[in-house]
Structure 1
């Protein structure tokens, strides 16, 4: 599609979206394909010239896709301390920067996403202070998004509205590297400034919003430019003078000591208009400031020691680390200021001490004013959908290709030094799996071309080492393999075997994988799978277009997407840290990822493959190790648990300073760098409010039999059970098969847990510690009696019934994840509905009502597109722990729920499928929440200063 064709397409799309929105509002009905066709017919008459340049079917398909999108509700914790509500419709009249940005985004995102952006930026701006408010004020907040989910678009909208409202100094802290800073500058040139900040140009060309409104009188001022060397410098600073009457100033700067010191010097010596008579500190009182801290968990967090003294009071003489100190100092020189951090991985931010403050630098960057959790649109593909979560197990989709250690370790060992030269089978070449990944990328580019996306950017990521010298070798190996493919296809030499291999690979592996991904994840899109003959026709052209680029601190290559907008850049990017955070790989299709960083936030940020893949999700592939897949699954669980806790606090009306955050720890991974966790503490935490489930099992016959016999003895010691359908209340949509025991003494449960042996790799669930915890709670009169359920699969002709304790039960089937010789691992055991076993009707309804109140319609959290019809586990546990006094529902902290299951051993390994093999005994425990503060010695969680401060108060 040419530039003029694209312009016509966007123009029609924008107009059609507005017409459809109005038609839907008038008729109070959802948008339908028939409605789309009707509005397009109207437009074809009034926009005849534009319609002559576009494909009407492509327009219709794009509008159908957009009309199906949804965006969930954001959640926000906020404090009203020293805050005056100010943002209303009257205040927003005649806002120009937001109007043109909104118009600019109309053809680029669905209207529901644009509406959601408007709402989210209003919510965030409303938590800041009115820039016209007199006197001193300070608001600091945090916005938590999803990796690669559009945070830049969100804060660009916020900047536009802040400028409209009257903020005069806008500073964007844009990463640690020049190319990321330049990328951010380009995005803000297009979305806010309206002109390309080209260095040393006589005339700055209009771009983005500037083409919608080219009135130069409203152009903001730019203190930085889009070149790699366009950061804030002394030459620019010497010429800059600002006053309250001028248009807003935009600074896009790196988190770099030299740059921030220059900026601080300029503020003190050129911008300051007042001197504090007591401290002598120079102040800017006439220019309200807003700082946007992109990737605020990276570089901005103070990692110094002794933020507070032994009494928990701030150490006013504390010396913060450099970047944190300089950011705080910039803020401290303004009397009216706002700070908004943006991140998808808030693990480091939540460990900022809430009481940190010094005389010289002011308060730390703890988000005391607000924390906003942004919901993901329905077309977002994030860790929850790629790797699943504890509450949702995705089908093993070909989207992720697990690599065994032997697939890569001899080529790229996990531990290697700078200067290492990778070899595969003794030769200077890529391993077979990386060659397969390159071919996968070639297929992806070919499919996209045949779908009419040939002029769109397509990228492949190769991220296997942090050493630039090793990356250079990988670049040469990948380029040589690509040259070999190109040479054979363009010259037809030695092509027979390669053609046969690629045809077989495409027809038997890649194409069926596309269809499986579409069935599982793609909605409201009509994507076709081209025949191999059509793929082969375009292969020579595709292979000629692909470039291999090295992206690191020493390479000269750059991802010049903007310069290839008309034809689309097809690139294989090989790199390390510069590809690990923030830098966007446009049209990312294929990833080959071996880096074994062991921090939650670093790993998640390396996930460049998350994001939006409209029109080509089915051709995307991620090649990574089985261990990495398990790690990402754990991190997805930890992040989701954090979001659930956040939702509960929002429902309770808590403030950020009341939000005691805890993050689930791991035996191998760390949550963030140890320096950033100086204010975190391993907690002797309660299991109250938790769901624990066994998901790792020993496979040795003796170990399996020992656990089976322990469960068998446990059930035999109990009186005869009731059928599971004899619960207090069974909702019409629910059905169970199995047996139920009530009023089981805690001693029986504790004895079972002490006899049952959890696997050593089960770092989350350790039965002796759980037994200790139950006994500790018994001392306070809690968890004294238990409901026990033996739960089986719905019966069918294919099932082989088994028995436990003499009671018949059908085994569950759980597919193994990962390849381990010593254990059988599954993703999740318990069905969410099983936590509702033996609730009363009033408890069931109360938990459902709370589940609906905390539902965010966030697709990456696997919540579903509609409010839940059944109560969710966290809300069930909360209702049981707290009760609902206003509805006459008492708490049931005296009762725990233990559910037992038998797992089919043939699903662990075909070698375990002999007839007399004992099944695996699995169990789950659902603990009601509690306020007792009773704990056991367990470091499963790490808590922030708010949480362990509260625990200290309980102990006192």
Structure 2
């Protein structure tokens, strides 16, 4: 068939509207198309072309056939007859002392997750889903709630896959026993214990369970449940598979199974070819294949690898649902600690209160909460004292306690003493030191730390040195107290003066124990949190980077090298809850890594936004992939986990993009953009006029400018290389595609300015010699010293800067959707906004307690910033990011330290 067929375009437009607006599947469209057209070959051709079009613009490849089986919602909450969830809920309240709002959140989220499963009485089902939580935020408590509710509705067998590490598996087993099984002892049959989980050299005491009897020969009753916690290890999984194969075939076929994959991005992802998958991945799939009625639910806080699995393969892609757990109240996550970038969809929230104040743009950053001022920089000179530079040095390397580490230790003692004054002496208190993945250098810290502790205790008890030492502690405490306003927290805390904590200090120092946590340390010498409160300094590597909970973590000293989002995120053991001491945690890390965590917080927010948006639009993971922003210095995840990734796509439809990063030290670069702006107005041949267009009388405007001038300006202007969304090729291609559909042929141009006379107006080359008043935009504190990141130069109302009538003003006042107004008032016209920024701009009203207060711009020349505002697209096509391909990352990737093999026996 040919696309020149006269019916082709009409049918394609109709099919496209069914798919994009009414969310019909392609098979539903095919069926409907053949009802209205006698040319079935033409219908098939159009459908296949639409599929190819979708494959080109989504972010992860999707299978050719969209799932036609809608999920059956079979659960609407607990019933009076249920026995597992009610007891678990009571346990959370009485024993765990969870606040009511936390319990309610667990109740609500687990009900939603269960509702995405199938009725356990159905004849057959195989579902795969993913639950995205936050690091150290209570994922285990959540999936135990899911297990409880699934047990109540009839699921019989529960398999929990957890960690590649024995200690972490035992930790999970202990929690399952204490928080779940012990609440209904007569109803749970445990296949595993804290010591045994299908080890190859163990006799299987539970083999009778496979035949329907417990290990004592008693028949398992219909209302009983069976549970096991299994390490993600080839032999263990192989033995589990063998056990399942022993089962009575008919009984196994009728048994509904819930398979929980804890830390689902670790070991579960295929890192080999599709034809010969990696062992753990292959065996998890084999377990699923053995079962007739099974729901696989992965839990992770770093879902990057999981959402990049090929959905068309017979793999573990969460094709049925992806659920985003809500952020718990009082949770310390990457955004709260480090801040994050301002994103487009923040505008309505972030600028609601300051949209009326364009003359004071620094209020944007003040209103948008940055990170907390609790991060200390570790100088490079200190890094070299604490970790080997490479693998060759690890054998002989002997660490030296750097000045920054000594201060961190002293602060840990002070903060623990403050907790004791506040009545938390019966709680554990921990400091983490994570410098390297190599075990031998870790082990050499023990004697150094013990000696330092003893010397500090000696100085504080010796009458000849006591006063001097006490004054050093006082100075550290008073400096740290200035960083966080305890009374401004929610709930507020009472600040602790040094004189109040001082009586507790000596005892805290003496009681401090030093632990090294890696697999070379004997079991009896490893850290165990007992019933008695302890004070611990823990040195470790990989075993501390995922899953293991450090109770009462107050201070983290982190200089470990990593190269991927997921690794970095999981190593953030400082994320979590710090009830009663939210003002006390501190983190020591390099300035580079502080910047990485800020970027990572932005990536996390975008992923969660996508998940929530798809949920609201009633889309499944087979309809759209989750977008993941690239980073110039970090991989998203291991290359082996990104076998199916394709370049992401972007549509500028109803979007605004802006320049925020500038080479302020490069005079030639800055002058080039100023000259590009002057050339723009020279080419147009007429001058902008003050207060001639739009609602802001301080702005200069030009309307109905031909698109050729905009395209030429894009060629002449230099965007910073980190502006992925402002790629010249993408911008121009998008605009030209819109031109072909009679869109964006004409543009309005607005130049932001301020009222009044200033000493140094800017000459933009107007023929009438008029000059423009410069505006002020200060720079954010970032890792890159040479380049300035302004975070945002546009205000929310700049979306309609060139429009001016009562409806526009009312929309701005009510905080309405301004793109809707723009599409209504100016559906075919683009807007270019120009921001001439004073080179010596300074911040106004900075809060010194924030992590990233703004600082002066200090540019070599005045800065020209630009923004592009696009109406709704005529053809809805997306444009591809120009991203660094995996092979291209080799030259800029940070060398990651390899995992010690014995850490994961």
The reply to whether TM is greater than 0.5 is: yes
Shift of 1:775: 4.3
Equivalence for 2:289 = 332
Residues 80-159 of structure 1 mapped to structure 2, 5 A cutoff: 81=69, 83-88=71-76, 92-107=79-94, 108-133=97-122, 135-159=123-147
Query: Distance between the aligned counterparts of 2:806 and 2:321, measured in 1?
Result: 34
Match of residue 546, structure 2, among 581, 585, 591: 581
Equivalence for 2:440 = 469
Match of residue 349, structure 1, among 296, 306, 320: 306
- Contact (CA 8 Å) 2:688, 2:700: kept in 1 or not? no
Query: Distance between the aligned counterparts of 2:487 and 2:680, measured in 1?
Result: 46
Bigger shift: 91-100 or 572-581?
Answer: 91-100
Matched, 1:604 2:565: no
Bigger shift: 548-557 or 441-450?
Answer: 548-557
Q: 1:543 to 1:320 in 2, by over 3 A?
A: same
Shift of 1:811: 2.8
Query: Distance between the aligned counterparts of 1:402 and 1:141, measured in 2?
Result: 40
- Contact (CA 8 Å) 1:736, 1:791: kept in 2 or not? no
Q: 1:766 to 1:629 in 2, by over 3 A?
A: farther
Equivalence for 1:789 = 750
Shift of 1:406: 3.4
Query: Distance between the aligned counterparts of 1:319 and 1:891, measured in 2?
Result: 55
Bigger shift: 672-681 or 223-232?
Answer: 223-232
- Contact (CA 8 Å) 1:725, 1:737: kept in 2 or not? no
**Structure 2 stretches lacking a partner, 5+ long:** 1-65, 213-219, 343-364, 765-769, 844-853, 887-905
Equivalence for 1:870 = 815
- Contact (CA 8 Å) 1:97, 1:160: kept in 2 or not? yes
Q: 1:227 to 1:826 in 2, by over 3 A?
A: farther
- Contact (CA 8 Å) 2:337, 2:371: kept in 1 or not? no
Equivalence for 2:406 = 435
Residues 354-433 of structure 1 mapped to structure 2, 5 A cutoff: 354-357=311-314, 364-391=315-342, 394-395=369-370, 397-412=372-387, 415-417=390-392, 419-422=394-397, 429-433=400-404
Query: Distance between the aligned counterparts of 1:406 and 1:770, measured in 2?
Result: 44
Equivalence for 2:221 = 245
Q: 1:369 to 1:396 in 2, by over 3 A?
A: closer
Residue aligned with 1:390, SS: coil
- Contact (CA 8 Å) 2:778, 2:857: kept in 1 or not? no
Query: Distance between the aligned counterparts of 1:657 and 1:399, measured in 2?
Result: 41
Shift of 1:761: 5.4
Residues 718-733 of structure 1 mapped to structure 2, 5 A cutoff: 719-721=687-689, 723=691, 726-727=694-695
Equivalence for 2:264 = 296
State TM-score, norm by structure 2: 0.77
Q: Number of matched residues?
A: 767
Match of residue 676, structure 1, among 641, 646, 654: 641
- Contact (CA 8 Å) 1:475, 1:550: kept in 2 or not? yes
Query: Distance between the aligned counterparts of 2:172 and 2:654, measured in 1?
Result: 42
Matched, 1:548 2:518: no
Equivalence for 1:173 = 161
Residues 714-863 of structure 1 mapped to structure 2, 5 A cutoff: 714=680, 717=684, 719-721=687-689, 723=691, 726-727=694-695, 738-760=699-721, 765-767=726-728, 770-771=731-732, 773-775=734-736, 777-791=738-752, 802-803=761-762, 805=764, 806-835=770-799, 837-838=801-802
Deviations 1:608-665 (A, max 9, x none): 1112222212111111112112222222222222222333323332122101332111
Q: 1:563 to 1:347 in 2, by over 3 A?
A: closer
Shift of 1:816: 3.7
Match of residue 933, structure 1, among 877, 892, 904: 877
Shift of 1:820: 4.2
Matched, 1:921 2:864: yes
- Contact (CA 8 Å) 2:428, 2:552: kept in 1 or not? yes
Match of residue 264, structure 1, among 241, 260, 282: 241
Residue aligned with 2:411, SS: helix
Residue aligned with 2:622, SS: helix
Deviations 1:156-201 (A, max 9, x none): 100111111111110111111111111111221222111xxxxxxx
Equivalence for 1:162 = 150
Query: Distance between the aligned counterparts of 1:821 and 1:379, measured in 2?
Result: 33
Equivalence for 1:236 = 205
Matched, 1:255 2:222: no
Equivalence for 1:71 = none
Matched, 1:707 2:684: no
Deviations 1:591-621 (A, max 9, x none): 1111221111111111111122222121111
Q: 1:922 to 1:557 in 2, by over 3 A?
A: farther
Residue aligned with 2:482, SS: helix
- Contact (CA 8 Å) 2:777, 2:842: kept in 1 or not? yes
Q: 1:483 to 1:416 in 2, by over 3 A?
A: farther
Matched, 1:217 2:186: yes
Shift of 1:670: 0.8
Query: Distance between the aligned counterparts of 1:796 and 1:614, measured in 2?
Result: 51
Query: Distance between the aligned counterparts of 2:832 and 2:153, measured in 1?
Result: 54
Query: Distance between the aligned counterparts of 1:513 and 1:655, measured in 2?
Result: 45
Q: 1:298 to 1:98 in 2, by over 3 A?
A: same
Higher relative contact order (CA 8 A, sep 6+): 2
Q: 1:351 to 1:396 in 2, by over 3 A?
A: closer
Shift of 1:430: 1.0
Shift of 1:561: 8.0
Query: Distance between the aligned counterparts of 2:409 and 2:155, measured in 1?
Result: 48
- Contact (CA 8 Å) 1:447, 1:529: kept in 2 or not? no
Pairwise CA RMSD:
3.6
Q: 1:412 to 1:389 in 2, by over 3 A?
A: same
- Contact (CA 8 Å) 2:435, 2:558: kept in 1 or not? yes
- Contact (CA 8 Å) 2:431, 2:555: kept in 1 or not? yes
Matched, 1:226 2:190: no
Bigger shift: 531-540 or 760-769?
Answer: 760-769
**Structure 1 stretches lacking a partner, 5+ long:** 1-77, 195-209, 275-282, 308-317, 358-363, 728-734, 849-867, 884-888, 943-956
Query: Distance between the aligned counterparts of 1:126 and 1:497, measured in 2?
Result: 63
Matched, 1:593 2:558: yes
Match of residue 495, structure 2, among 500, 505, 529: 529
Deviations 1:724-758 (A, max 9, x none): 9934xxxxxxx896444443433333333333323
Residues 24-35 of structure 1 mapped to structure 2, 5 A cutoff: none
Query: Distance between the aligned counterparts of 1:815 and 1:245, measured in 2?
Result: 67
Shift of 1:265: 0.3
Shift of 1:142: 0.9
- Contact (CA 8 Å) 1:225, 1:231: kept in 2 or not? no
Q: 1:172 to 1:455 in 2, by over 3 A?
A: same
State TM-score, norm by structure 1: 0.73
Residue aligned with 1:682, SS: coil
Match of residue 482, structure 2, among 500, 512, 516: 512
Query: Distance between the aligned counterparts of 1:585 and 1:838, measured in 2?
Result: 55
Query: Distance between the aligned counterparts of 1:80 and 1:675, measured in 2?
Result: 31
Residues 891-910 of structure 1 mapped to structure 2, 5 A cutoff: 892=827, 894-902=829-837, 904-905=839-840, 907=842
Query: Distance between the aligned counterparts of 2:688 and 2:551, measured in 1?
Result: 62
Bigger shift: 151-160 or 139-148?
Answer: 139-148
Shift of 1:153: 1.0
